[in-house]
């Protein structure tokens, strides 16, 4: 009776009530989704109910449908799994169960549901929505409610979020949890690596993924695996054993002391017969290798979410609430996805249908279709994996005339992705018959010591998970002695250069380009591959290394927050790197749940500080006696000359009048990261290979121009270049470029243009970074 009275009191003007549930297999980031939906809901004037234990919460109602307040989800960003529970609920598959779910929702005045789960959970949600009007009618006919009571709830709004470690959903580039799971796999395989190398053993590592090989493929790339088995590109039934043996033996013959094979749980051969870890083990044992199997199992779902998943869960959770408020009865239920780094809404059932079609394609042996149905970069990553793992088979060598000498140099402060990128570039170059050279200790090393040496397969093959710079890096620029730089390039017959670095790397490429008049050897293709923790290189959305930095900060801030929460009312002001660019500070604030963020882009003044102090007071007031909730402020190292980290902490102390206290924390160089994150590893590989391909293509174009006499007649502005030791004239090319990463796409931008049009030279960042 009491509950019915509540139904009676609600009108169309009452606050919108939304339920949020997590369903199916858990994934890291689900807690962060619930937090974002609850807080965005409250912010947008809604009431949000946590539906506990997946769909069971709806079916059973009662205590399993509980209103959540702002403070209830405090700290959930840094928690793994899902605190509202998840389940596979059989009752919800039956109409009876869904009728009960509709009743429980109407009892609480809820007519919107945000579901975070896999394709099964989203299918169930859409079915529920399509049945809803009939379910409501039935609840009236069977006397549960009156017409008047159900009047405000004639339609159900459904919004789907994809929480899945498999990254198997179509129409989104990434699912919430996939990168965290990949990170867990990388951590585990790194651990296994050291023991494998000690005993010269082979390890077969089995990872999750029934119909989807994303985790296995990416793990193969990140962990420098010799071989992978994935369902979308099955191994040939008659020949896989032979091929596996050949590849592993070849690597051993080159000096590798360990063998790593990654097997997706759904691995099959091209006759659709299952390939198990035991099958692979047998084969490796036949080769005489001491072999072990490691099934990673639920470790892959464990631990806290990485920075990217926290970000994804947060922005998608907010978008889900907006979608609830904007959806009309005629709009198809949306699924929130991310495409090309932009949050998007896509028709949920179309995405589910497309996802299911991959399994169908595999079962019908249409493997090319299955590959094509995966996200836009899947095929490319597969080809990248082949280049760097099996490309040493001399099957893809270019003709002598097309082989190049390409040098790689690290410039600026180290980042965790430098070695992974260099390794990928070297392995790719060698696979095509090019020669790879490493310049040691940046431009200083080249200028002072002519430090440049050829790099072989075995030199780099262990670099996939090493932070820092094996080549050595520093901040010096080629202008230190451009003549010496040109001399060493010429003396070593270098025909292409990859500069991996941050703003200094970018500036170095600009200087080299400008020096071409004087030193024609520098007309060679030169690519800047952006790599910096600050993510401040103009003209690119992303620089490799910044994700590792964010993850280091996430762990650091979690620890600091925990410490702050253990003491009574303590606020930490954490100073992060980034130079004049607030990217790291802003992202760190978003993914750690900071109370305030100070960046150079947004002016800090007395007024803004006062507002933050007010917010802090309010936040403590909202804690309802929970005095142990730690708060953090994030301050970029150059946010303000006046309001230093120390001063902000002192202001907090002063404003508190003893009610709470403050501390500072400065992670410093730890932010460069010790081990590259999984996202940085796969990006490093992809972008390094792209850079090599740019150099190859530029060489092709130049060769085409050289043979085209008319081209030279038409061009006035001629330059010189050196090809295979001969001096040749070529036209002024735009082949000094920045590898520009925009979401999942990569393009090469003329360095001159980016420098002139998009660079804040004094601020050492892009003009459009705010």
* Residues annotated as part of the active site: 166
Which is closer to ligand ATP, CB of 89 or CB of 205? Answer: 89
Q: Rounded CA gap, 130 and 128, in Å?
A: 6
List residues bridging with 438 in a β-sheet. Answer: 408, 453
Q: What six digits make up the tokens of 46?
A: 């809604």
Which is closer to ligand ATP, CB of 104 or CB of 546? Answer: 104
Least Å from the CB of residue 24 to ligand ATP: 2
DSSP string, 268-296: BBTTS-B--HHHHHHHHHHTT--EEEEE-
List residues bridging with 474 in a β-sheet. Answer: 411
The residue of the chain with the least Cβ separation from ligand ATP equals 120
- Give the single-character DSSP code of 17: E
Q: What six digits make up the tokens of 63?
A: 């205590």
- What is the DSSP pairing of strand 46-51 with strand 65-68? antiparallel
SS3 (DSSP) at 599: coil
Which is closer to ligand ATP, CB of 154 or CB of 210? Answer: 210
Least Å from the CB of residue 23 to ligand ATP: 5
Residue carrying structure tokens 């859409």: 126
For 621-676, give the secondary structure using H, E and C: HCCCCCCCCCEEEEEECCCCCCCCHHHHHHHHHHHHCCCCEEEEECCHHHHHCCCC
Cα 102 to chain center, whole Å? 37
Residue carrying structure tokens 């979690």: 558
How many other C-beta atoms are found inside a 10 Å radius of the C-beta of residue 137?
13
Which is closer to ligand ATP, CB of 212 or CB of 691? Answer: 212
Least Å from the CB of residue 356 to ligand ATP: 10
Least Å from the CB of residue 65 to ligand ATP: 16
Least Å from the CB of residue 89 to ligand ATP: 4
Least Å from the CB of residue 127 to ligand ATP: 5
Q: Rounded CA gap, 719 and 584, in Å?
A: 41
Expressed in percent and rounded to 5, the helix, strand and coil fractions of the chain are 50, 20, 35
Which is closer to ligand ATP, CB of 215 or CB of 596? Answer: 215
Q: What six digits make up the tokens of 727?
A: 């001096």
Which is closer to ligand ATP, CB of 120 or CB of 433? Answer: 120
Which is closer to ligand ATP, CB of 56 or CB of 535? Answer: 56
Least Å from the CB of residue 114 to ligand ATP: 14
DSSP string, 344-358: EEEEHHHHHHHHHHH
Least Å from the CB of residue 374 to ligand ATP: 16
The angle at the Cα of 532, spanning 531 to 537, to the nearest 5 degrees, equals: 85
Least Å from the CB of residue 134 to ligand ATP: 15
Which is closer to ligand ATP, CB of 207 or CB of 594? Answer: 207
What is the sign, positive or negative, of the torsion defined by CA atoms of 683, 686, 690, 692? positive
The phi, psi pair for 676, rounded to 5°, reads -65, 145
Cα 607 to chain center, whole Å? 36
- What is the DSSP pairing of strand 736-742 with strand 745-750? antiparallel
Cα-trace Rg, the chain: 28
Which is closer to ligand ATP, CB of 83 or CB of 484? Answer: 83
Residue carrying structure tokens 């036949």: 286
Least Å from the CB of residue 215 to ligand ATP: 13
Q: What six digits make up the tokens of 86?
A: 């998840």
Residue carrying structure tokens 């796409």: 745
Which is closer to ligand ATP, CB of 267 or CB of 359? Answer: 359
DSSP string, 147-194: HHHHGGGS--EEEEEEB-TT---TT-S--BTHHHHHHHHHHHHHHHHH
CA distances from 557 to 495, 535, 585, 665 (A): 45, 19, 12, 9
Q: Rounded CA gap, 72 and 110, in Å?
A: 19
Q: Taking a C-beta distance cutoff of 8 angstroms, is the pair 59, 92 a contact?
A: yes
Least Å from the CB of residue 176 to ligand ATP: 12
Which is closer to ligand ATP, CB of 164 or CB of 548? Answer: 164
Residue carrying structure tokens 């099964």: 120
DSSP string, 371-425: HHHS-TTHHHHHHHHHHHHTGGGSSSPPPGGG--EEEEEEESS--TTHHHHHHHH
Which is closer to ligand ATP, CB of 353 or CB of 493? Answer: 353
Q: Taking a C-beta distance cutoff of 8 angstroms, is the pair 741, 540 a contact?
A: yes
Cα 433 to chain center, whole Å? 32
Least Å from the CB of residue 666 to ligand ATP: 41
Which is closer to ligand ATP, CB of 90 or CB of 615? Answer: 90
| Ramachandran sector of residue 730 (left: φ over 0; alpha: ψ -120 to 50; beta: rest) | beta
For ligand ATP, the binding residues (CB under 6 A) are: 23-25, 55, 88-89, 92-93, 117-121, 123-124, 127, 164
Q: Taking a C-beta distance cutoff of 8 angstroms, is the pair 464, 423 a contact?
A: yes
For 22-40, give the secondary structure using H, E and C: ECCCCCCCHHHHHHHHHHH
């Amino acid at each position: 009776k009491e509950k019915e009275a509540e139904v009676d009191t609600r009108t169309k003007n009452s606050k919108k009530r939304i339920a949020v549930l997590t369903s199916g297999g858990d994934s890291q980031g689900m807690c962060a989704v619930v937090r974002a939906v609850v807080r965005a809901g409250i912010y947008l004037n809604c009431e949000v109910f946590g539906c506990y234990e997946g769909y069971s919460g709806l079916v059973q109602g009662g205590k399993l449908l509980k209103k959540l307040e702002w403070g209830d989800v405090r700290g959930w960003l840094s928690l793994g799994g899902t605190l509202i529970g998840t389940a596979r609920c059989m009752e919800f598959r039956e109409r009876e169960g869904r009728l009960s779910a509709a009743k429980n929702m109407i009892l609480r005045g809820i007519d919107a549901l945000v579901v975070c789960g896999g394709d099964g959970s989203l299918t169930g949600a859409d079915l529920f929505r399509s049945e809803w009007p009939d379910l409501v009618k039935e609840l009236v006919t069977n006397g549960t409610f009156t017409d008047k009571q159900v009047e405000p709830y004639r339609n159900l709004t459904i919004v789907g979020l994809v929480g899945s470690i498999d990254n198997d959903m179509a129409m989104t580039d990434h699912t919430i949890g996939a990168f965290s799971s990949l990170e867990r796999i990388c951590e585990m395989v790194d651990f296994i690596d050291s023991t494998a190398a000690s005993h010269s053993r082979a390890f077969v590592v089995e990872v999750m993924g029934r119909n989807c090989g994303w985790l296995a493929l990416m793990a193969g790339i990140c962990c420098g695996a010799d071989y992978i088995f994935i369902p979308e590109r099955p191994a040939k039934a008659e020949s896989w054993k032979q091929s596996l043996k050949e590849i592993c033996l070849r690597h051993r013959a080159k000096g590798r002391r360990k063998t790593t094979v990654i097997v997706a749980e759904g691995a099959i051969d091209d006759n659709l017969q299952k390939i198990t870890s035991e099958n692979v083990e047998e084969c490796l044992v036949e080769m005489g290798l001491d072999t072990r199997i490691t099934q990673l199992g639920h470790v892959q779902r464990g631990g806290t979410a990485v920075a990217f998943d926290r970000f994804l869960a947060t922005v998608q959770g907010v978008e889900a609430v907006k979608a609830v408020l904007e959806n009309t009865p005629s709009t198809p239920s949306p699924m929130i996805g991310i495409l090309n780094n932009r949050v998007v809404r896509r028709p949920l059932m179309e995405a589910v249908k497309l996802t299911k079609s991959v399994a169908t394609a595999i079962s019908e042996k249409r493997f090319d279709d299955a590959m094509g149905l995966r996200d836009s970069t899947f095929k490319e990553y597969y080809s990248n994996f082949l280049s760097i793992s099996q490309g040493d088979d001399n099957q893809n060598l270019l003709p002598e005339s097309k082989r190049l000498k390409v040098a790689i140099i690290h410039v600026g402060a180290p980042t965790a992705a430098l070695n992974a990128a260099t390794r990928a570039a070297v392995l790719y170059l060698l696979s095509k018959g090019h020669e790879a050279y490493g310049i040691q200790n940046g431009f200083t090393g080249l200028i002072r010591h002519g430090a440049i040496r050829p790099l072989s397969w075995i030199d780099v093959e262990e670099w996939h998970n090493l932070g820092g710079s094996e080549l050595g890096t520093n901040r010096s620029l080629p202008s230190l002695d451009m003549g010496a730089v040109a001399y060493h390039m010429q003396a070593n017959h270098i025909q292409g250069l990859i500069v991996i670095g941050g703003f200094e790397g970018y500036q170095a490429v600009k200087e080299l380009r400008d020096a071409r008049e004087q030193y024609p050897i520098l007309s060679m293709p030169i690519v800047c591959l952006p790599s910096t923790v600050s993510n401040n290189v103009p003209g690119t959305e992303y620089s490799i290394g910044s994700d590792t930095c964010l993850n280091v900060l996430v762990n650091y801030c979690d620890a600091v927050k925990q410490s702050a929460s253990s003491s009574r009312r303590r606020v930490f002001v954490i100073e992060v790197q980034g130079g004049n660019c607030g990217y790291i500070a802003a992202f760190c604030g978003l993914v750690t749940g900071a109370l305030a963020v100070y960046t150079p882009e947004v002016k800090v003044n007395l007024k803004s500080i006062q507002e933050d102090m007010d917010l802090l007071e309010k936040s403590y007031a909202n804690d309802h006696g929970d005095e142990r909730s730690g708060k953090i402020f994030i301050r970029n190292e150059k946010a303000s000359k006046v309001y230093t980290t120390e001063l902000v902490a002192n202001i907090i102390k002063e404003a508190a009048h003893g009610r709470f206290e403050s501390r500072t924390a400065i992670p410093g160089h730890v932010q460069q990261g010790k081990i590259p994150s999984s996202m940085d590893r796969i990006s490093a590989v992809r972008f390094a290979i792209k850079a090599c391909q740019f150099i190859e293509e530029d060489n092709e174009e130049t060769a085409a121009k050289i043979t085209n006499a008319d081209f030279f007649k038409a061009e006035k502005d001629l330059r010189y270049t050196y090809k295979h030791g001969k001096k040749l004239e070529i036209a002024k090319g735009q082949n000094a470029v920045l590898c520009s990463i925009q979401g999942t796409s990569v393009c090469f931008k003329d360095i001159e243009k980016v420098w002139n049009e998009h660079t804040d030279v004094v601020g050492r960042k892009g003009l459009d970074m705010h």
